[in-house]
Amino acid sequence: MPPLLEVRELVKHYPLTRGVLFRKQIGAVKAVDGVSFALRPGETLGIVGESGCGKSTVAKMLVSLERPTAGRILYKGEDITRLSGRALKAVRRNIQMVFQDPYTSLNPRMTVGDIVGEPYEIHPEVAPKGDRRRKVQELLDVVGLNPEYINRYPHQFSGGQRQRIGIARGLALRPEVIVADEPVSALDVSVQAQVVNLMEKLQGEFGLAYVFIAHDLSIVRHISDRVGVMYLGRVVETGTDTEIYDHPTHPYTQALLSAVPVPDPEVREQRERILLTGDVPSPTSVPSGCRFRTRCWKARERCALEVPLLAVPAAFRDTHTPARHDSACHFAEERRVVPGDTRGQMG
Amino acid sequence: MLLEVRDLYVEFRTRDGVAKAVNGVSYSVDAGETLAVLGESGSGKSVTAQAVMGILDTPPGRVSGGEVLFRGRDLLALKEDARRTVRGAEMAMIFQDALSALNPVLTVGDQLGEMFVVHRGMSKKAARARAVELMDRVRIPAAAERVGQYPHQFSGGMRQRIMIAMAMALEPALIIADEPTTALDVTVQAQVMELLAELRRELGMGLILITHDLGVVADVADRIAVMYAGRIVETAPVHDIYKAPAHPYTRGLLDSIPRLDHKGRELYAIKGLPPNLTAIPPGCPFHPRCPRARDVCRTDLPPLYRVSQDRRSACHFWEETVDASSA
Amino acid sequence: MPEPDPYQNPKEAVAPTGAGGAMDLAMSEAETLERDGTGRPRSLWSDAWHQLRRNPVFLVSALLIVFLVLIAIWPQILTSADPLRCDLSKSQQGSAPGHPFGYDTQGCDVYTRTVYGARASITVGVCATLGAALLGSLLGGLAGFFGGWWDGVLSRVADVFFGIPVVLGGLVFLSVVTSSTVWPVVGFIVLLGWPQIARIARGSVITAKEHDYVQAARALGAGGGRMLLRHVGPNAVAPVIVVATIALGTYIALEATLSFLGVGLRPPTVSWGIDISNAAPQIRNAPHMLLWPAGALSITVLAFIMLGDAVRDALDPKLR
């Protein structure tokens, strides 16, 4: 199947300037520095990484809220990064976003009906005027809200309900792609499950493709078909959920997975923990070669000189194991760090 | 027993009426033990801790009943200046947001040293030397050089280490950590939790860990108390609770989180929302969301039933719940 | 045989069909909506109004302002005399039947002049505030919204106007004016007042535009006009309203100051400032001449500042 959305060598640098009248560039924040991936129709691509890895900037570029410094975003083969005006507006119908914070992503001065109906005002060709109220009510029903609450204001709803309103707004134009940036991280545990289930249900109903961005590795595994791990503006490893979680080959992925607390006290003694030292370097001065080398226990001279490419490592190229997937490490090795389920097989 | 909270009640005056934040909470911590208090927002887990520390905002908050026995002495009966000497020296607290808990205009060295100047009457110079020692102990690299820096010059993980150093400074017998790693990235979170556990072992302190994260609890706690709507609904040794929860709310929480080790199918979602604290439902506060609720749950508030010697559950149907969980 | 565990079948526990699921959620929604008591849809504006109505400070100041506005429009409600008909023979006399506040130096009735003085003060205050608020929020709002060089230029220009000392500026600019209408004074106050409003408007537009809902509108393809008018504007306007209300009181005081100094309103316009200026030298002989116009001025200024305070309390998002 041809990809719906393809990202090639995407770069976003924010210039650092000095001076008021005569601005001089003294450096750049390399928020995203060469990211490539593809999204196929109806699938979920999870993107994980810690704060500052550039995952949110990628999300903003996908929905054209930020213009990339370099690179291309192909939607059905067409580069959308240089579009403007009517053409951009048309593309926006098909790529929508769900935001992290349900408290700041809804305009407090507008009713729920106006918020969910706004897409139709901006794109009047989608729904004739007389039809809009009914369409909005349908959408509220679809996301599990009472359609009668169309005249209420956002502050009358709880966090989980507000996130449903945000999802309804994202669905209004019937997009093919929804980019969700940490859609459940601001919600309580018991409400997170409701929203995750809703998103999965809607994916089936509307045939949506999701780019699901999160720092919670468990939720990403649950919802994603494929996963990309980001570190300091680059993707370091991609693969199916099994490939990444059960057969990681990049040391950063391994450290990240081993650090996630597992809700099972039985595994705490038998678990192997990789404790990384130090902090993530600043994106204004990224290390040469492999960006992870300053915190990597395997780093050697080569890592400082040569940027590792995101490809199947040579060691696995001729094998047929799940370790055969893209990993940007010169010394990729498989290492199992997620403990097996000791609670007995559920489901 | 190091700390014993007995039948604690806390209420808040709000625009919509009196919010009953804590409704008869009892728990205890021994020296060297880690008790995890687990709950969602509004469960009363942090308010209980604030009442124990004596840092509750009054007004609008008010402790309306109960006792907080620290080494047998009721802290709630003490005068404010007597409590102040207990705070810091005998019990200390670590907060979620280290940046706002540290004073931005003082160097970390000054803030760490202040503990020794105020409580131990040390000279400024001696206090500074102790500050460097402390920073070394919480493994802040180049402590001697960084002691003169300001909080914003440290990363989130390093700031949380400074907070831990500050809490440890006077070697208190009890530490209360309120969501200490929630704001941190997973890799940093693991480092900080590891440090906290190690220091607790070395100093033999009691630790109350307040969190919403079932993973963090499973990783470090000895015992766990699950809170809902200002009450403890279940308390048990950590292994028992994960194996077979005795309260439907605990069970629901465990089933609603996705797993790291396999993809799993549709998540169980606890229906509805946590209750409004100004109008907690009658009977069992969890009954509107509970899949096991029956008539008795709508009318009778369940007491903490004895499940086994060290387990309690506030569910009329705890036996059913345990059976179903272990089946 | 243990009974079936509801957790083992999430489908069943959550609800078997889509309709059932919606019902579950509807139930929980009803719970939240009960929390605000009425369950009626209430916008933030109507919430603020609800709170204002119960605030005694608001009620007192609003009543006063309504009263002042009424007598500014129809001074005849309170007096049938002509403020310009004076009788020198009654110069500086105290209160007399039908003339409760006595007479001023020119022998004019102080009561009538105090009543008529409201017109000038309210006119200057309201017009200057409207002008400054419109100009300030337009320029400040655009600067905040678009940023860049436009923002830089505008902020520097505002700084220049901010730097002009009000009284000195008034003496210089207004002394060359010969008109005896209120417009030169209004114009001068607008000229010096807009930078304050512009700064507030710029700041609150910058805050409002950072919110995700503005990004969400952009992601939907909304144009600049829609974002500014529907999303940024309505959320940035509250601080401007508060500052403008308080400024109204200070503008009235400023008009009186300028008139006192002889560069504001000129006779035959009736103004509290002019009357205070005329009364000041006679404060020992005839304190009543000063007392009434000065008292009226103070109460008017206070009423507007109190109103601004009450509005701020009602609109402050931190209270909700």
pLDDT of residue C10: 38
Which of A263, A275, A340 is facing B191, going by the closest CB pair? A275
Of A99, A123, A149, the CB nearest to C29: A149
| Structure confidence by residue, pLDDT tens digits, B310-326 | 999 999 998 888 888 77
Residue B59 domain boundaries = 3-326
Helix (H) / strand (E) containing C127? helix C110-146
Contacts of B275 in chain C (CB under 8 A): 31
For chain A, say whether B158 makes contact (Cβ under 8 Å).
Answer: yes
Share of chain A above pLDDT 70, in %: 96
Closest CA to B182 of B192, B172, B195, B174: B192
- Judged by average pLDDT, the poorest of A289-298, B211-220, C82-91 is C82-91
CB-CB neighbors (< 8 A) of B41 in chain A: 188
Q: Residue B327: which of C2, C10, C35 has the nearest Cβ?
A: C2
Q: Which of C122, C121, C120, C83 is nearest to C104 (CA)?
A: C83
Phi and psi torsions of C280, nearest 5°: -55, -45
pLDDT tens digit string along B50-82?
Answer: 999 888 887 788 899 899 999 888 988 888 888
Flag whether pLDDT at B297 surpasses 80. Answer: yes
User: With an 8 Å Cβ cutoff, are A161 and C215 in contact?
Assistant: no
Q: Report whether the peptide linkage leading into residue B60 is cis, meaning its omega lies within 30 degrees of zero.
A: yes
C96 interfaces chain B, CB cutoff of 8 Å: no
pLDDT at B286 over 50: yes
Whether A110 and C230 lie within 8 Å, measured CB to CB: yes
Q: Which of C5, C32, C35 is best to mutate for the B interface (most B CBs within 10 A)?
A: C5
Tokens of A111: 């009713």
How many domains, chain B? Answer: 1
Q: Which residues of chain C make contact with A169, given a CB cutoff of 8 A?
A: 216, 220
Measured between CA atoms, the residue of chain C closest to residue B281 is C31
The pLDDT value given to residue A22: 66
Residue C230 is classified by DSSP as I
Structure tokens at B143: 């402590």
pLDDT of residue C198: 92
In 3D, which of B156, B89, B159, B148 has the Cα closest to residue B118? B89
Look up the ipTM and state it.
0.85
The whole-angstrom separation of Cα C103 and Cα C111 is: 8
| CB of C29 less than 8 A from some CB of A | yes
**C33 has pLDDT over 60:** no
Strand order in the sheet with A78-79: A24-39, A5-18, A70-75, A78-79
Q: From chain C, pick out residues whose CB is under 8 angstroms from the CB of A118.
A: 217, 220, 222, 230
What mean pLDDT do residues B112-141 have? 87
Q: What is the mean pLDDT of chain B?
A: 88
Dihedral (C-alpha) C135, C136, C142, C144: value to the nearest 10 degrees?
180
SS3 of residue A34 by DSSP: strand
* Residue contact A193–B257, C-beta within 8 A: yes
Does A343 contact B269 at a Cβ distance shorter than 8 Å?
Answer: no
Q: How far is CA A175 from CA A41, A166, C16, in A?
A: 11, 14, 28
pLDDT at A41: 93
CA angle C310–C311–C317, rounded 5-degree value: 110
> What average pLDDT does this structure show over A205-226?
93
Of C43, C221, C235, the CB nearest to A153: C43
Token readout for B36 is: 């995890």
φ, ψ for residue B227, nearest 5 deg: -110, 145
Among B217, B260, B267, select the one facing A221 at the smallest CB separation. Answer: B260
pLDDT at C30: 39
Which chains touch B (3+ CB pairs under 8 A)? A, C
According to the model, what pLDDT value does residue A70 have? 93
Q: Nearest CA to CA, how far is B120 from chain A (Å)?
A: 33
Distance from CA of B169 to the nearest CA of C (A): 36
What chain C holds in terms of domains, given with CATH numbers, is 1-41 (no CATH), 48-319 (1.10.3720.10)
Chain C's closest residue to A178, CA to CA, is C219
Which of A78, A5, A96 shows the shortest CA–CA distance to A45? A5
Side chain identity at residue B229, one-letter code = A
Question: A149 — phi, psi (to 5°)?
Answer: -85, 20
- Report in angstroms the alpha-carbon separations of A269 from A274, B90, C173: 14, 31, 82
- A62's tokens: 């996908």
C-alpha torsion sign, points C209, C214, C219, C221 = negative
Which carries the bigger pLDDT value, residue A68 or residue C33?
A: A68
Distance from C-alpha of C29 to C-alpha of A145, rounded to nearest angstrom: 8
Of C152, C211, C219, the CB nearest to A97: C219
Please report which confidence band the pLDDT of residue C108 belongs to, taking 50, 70 and 90 as the band edges.
confident
pLDDT band of B271, cuts 50, 70, 90: confident
For the four alpha carbons of C281, C285, C289 and C291, in that order, the dihedral sign comes to: positive
Q: How many CB atoms lie within 10 A of CB C130?
A: 14
pLDDT (tens digit, 9 = 90+) per residue, C62-85? Answer: 999 999 999 888 888 877 777 777
Distance of CA B313 to the CA centre of its chain: 19
Contacts of A298 (CB under 8 A, 6+ apart): A251, A329, A331
Residue of chain C minimizing CA distance to A61: C219
The CATH number of the domain holding residue B190 is 3.40.50.300
Burial class (CB in 10 A: 0-12, 13-18, 19+), B237: middle
Contact C264, C271 (CB under 8 A): yes
Asked if A263's CB is within 8 angstroms of B215's CB, the reply is yes
Q: Do B272 and C5 touch (CB under 8 A)?
A: no
**pLDDT attached to residue C43:** 75
Q: Which residues of B65-100 are buried (b: 16+ CB within 10 A; e: fewer)?
A: ebbbbbeeeebbebeeeebeebbbbbbbbbbbebee
Q: Please report residues of A whose CB lies closer than 8 A to that of C42.
A: 153, 156
Q: Do A97 and C22 touch (CB under 8 A)?
A: no
Strand order in the sheet with B3-14: B17-29, B3-14, B61-70, B73-74
Tally the C-alpha atoms within 13 A of residue A25's C-alpha that lie toward its C-beta.
Answer: 7
**pLDDT over 70 at B237, yes or no:** yes
Domains and CATH numbers, chain A: 41-67+83-224 (3.40.50.300), 251-347 (no CATH)
Closest approach of chain C CAs to the CA of A152, in angstroms? Answer: 4
